[in-house]
């Protein structure tokens, strides 16, 4: 079981059934549930030729390992998405797509990562990158909060974030970090170029080397009393500035 992912909750399981049903090895549902939502999931699983195992709720509790499961848990192989930065960028170049990436430095809360992945999917981000030693993996909580985005947005964990950032620069990716003390505002960036937004963890923010490796630092305008935004909210604000610019330029 250690080589498998645990998918808990309707969003995570139905997304995997939709995008990569062949990766699901076991699908367990709460035997006592007969509602419409459960019946729909069972029908989707049967259509994908995935066997469904009705089990007691306490069995699901053990499988989900403390994650809220809503009566649905699947054990699945990892979905095959891009796992290498060069592979990802080569594919984008072949398809003529302008790269948009999200780099997370020190985001260790699974709820924040799940929310960032969900936002990344909505904004058309091509991949989310994070340092292997300062980030949370794609556990059951991340999968649930991401609402299926963990199956559509590559999450690439790298050994050395600063080195990967330099690698991105060599591929002409413009690195834009957020900093409360930056002079320029986020609306002044050119989001139409190949770029990556770089976000730090709440509280401590980006590490010094990460900040110094950015090509540009900008601040998010804050009009109220709070000093900063949650990292997933900040990511959404910045990513959608890029979406706005790219959408406007294509009209």
Annotation: binding site for S-adenosyl-L-methionine:
200, 220, 229
The pLDDT value recorded for residue 1 is 38
C-beta of residue 107 within 8 angstroms of C-beta of residue 113: yes
The pLDDT value recorded for residue 2 is 43
Task: Provide mean pLDDT across the span 38-51.
Answer: 93
Name the residue ranges covered by the structural domains of the chain: 5-76, 85-249
| Better pLDDT: 147 or 37 | 37
Question: What band does 188 get if pLDDT is binned at 50, 70 and 90?
Answer: very high
- HSE-CB at 153 with a 13 A cutoff on CA atoms is 31
Task: Provide mean pLDDT across the span 150-159.
Answer: 92
The pLDDT value recorded for residue 112 is 94
C-beta of residue 75 within 8 angstroms of C-beta of residue 4: yes
The pLDDT value recorded for residue 181 is 85
Task: Provide mean pLDDT across the span 206-226.
Answer: 90
Is the per-residue pLDDT at 162 higher than 50?
A: yes
**Three-state SS across 36-76?**
HHHHHHHHHHHHCCCCEEEECHHHHHHHHCCCCCCCEEEEE
Task: Provide mean pLDDT across the span 107-124.
Answer: 94
Q: Does domain 85-249 have CATH number 3.40.1280.10?
A: yes
Question: What band does 194 get if pLDDT is binned at 50, 70 and 90?
Answer: very high
Q: Output the DSSP codes for 88-142.
A: HHHHHHHHTPPPEEEEEES---HHHHHHHHHHHHHHT-SEEEEEGGGS--S-HHH
Task: Provide mean pLDDT across the span 218-237.
Answer: 87
Neighbours of 192 (CB within 10 A): 13
Is the per-residue pLDDT at 83 higher than 80?
A: no
Proportion of the chain above pLDDT 90, given as a percent:
62
Phi and psi of 28, rounded to 5°?
Answer: -115, 135
Burial of 238 (0-12, 13-18, 19+ CB in 10 A): buried
Annotation: binding site:
200, 220, 229
State the architecture of 5-76 in CATH terms. Answer: 2-Layer Sandwich (3.30)
Mean model confidence pLDDT for the chain: 90
C-alpha span between 124 and 244 (Å, rounded): 12
C-alpha span between 145 and 214 (Å, rounded): 29
Q: Summarize pLDDT for 1-42 with one digit per residue, the tens.
A: 345 788 888 988 988 898 788 889 999 999 999 899 999 999
Question: What band does 251 get if pLDDT is binned at 50, 70 and 90?
Answer: low
The pLDDT value recorded for residue 228 is 75
What the block records as the tokens of 139 is: 């556990």
């Amino acid at each position: 079981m250690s080589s498998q992912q645990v998918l808990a909750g309707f969003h995570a399981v139905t997304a995997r059934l939709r995008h990569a049903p062949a990766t699901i090895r076991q699908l367990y549902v709460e035997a006592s549930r007969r509602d419409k939502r459960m019946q729909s999931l069972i029908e989707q699983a049967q259509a994908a030729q995935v066997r469904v195992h009705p089990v007691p709720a306490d069995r699901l509790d053990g499988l989900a390992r403390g994650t809220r499961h809503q009566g649905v848990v699947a054990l699945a192989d990892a979905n095959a998405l891009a796992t290498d930065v060069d592979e990802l960028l080569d594919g984008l170049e072949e398809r003529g797509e302008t790269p948009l990436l999200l780099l997370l430095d020190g985001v260790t809360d699974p709820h924040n990562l799940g929310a960032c992945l969900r936002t990344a999917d909505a904004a058309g981000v091509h991949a989310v990158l994070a340092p292997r030693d300062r980030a949370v993996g794609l556990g059951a909580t991340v999968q649930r909060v991401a609402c299926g985005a963990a199956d559509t947005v590559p999450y690439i964990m790298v050994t050395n974030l600063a080195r990967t950032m330099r690698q991105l620069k060599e591929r002409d990716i413009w690195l834009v970090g957020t900093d409360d003390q930056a002079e320029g505002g986020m609306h002044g960036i050119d989001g139409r170029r190949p770029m990556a937004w770089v976000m730090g963890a709440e509280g401590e923010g980006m590490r010094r080397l990460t900040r110094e490796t950015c090509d540009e630092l900008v601040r998010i305008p804050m009009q109220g009393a709070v000093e900063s935004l949650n990292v997933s909210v900040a990511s959404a604000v910045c990513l959608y500035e890029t979406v706005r610019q790219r959408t406007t330029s294509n009209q």
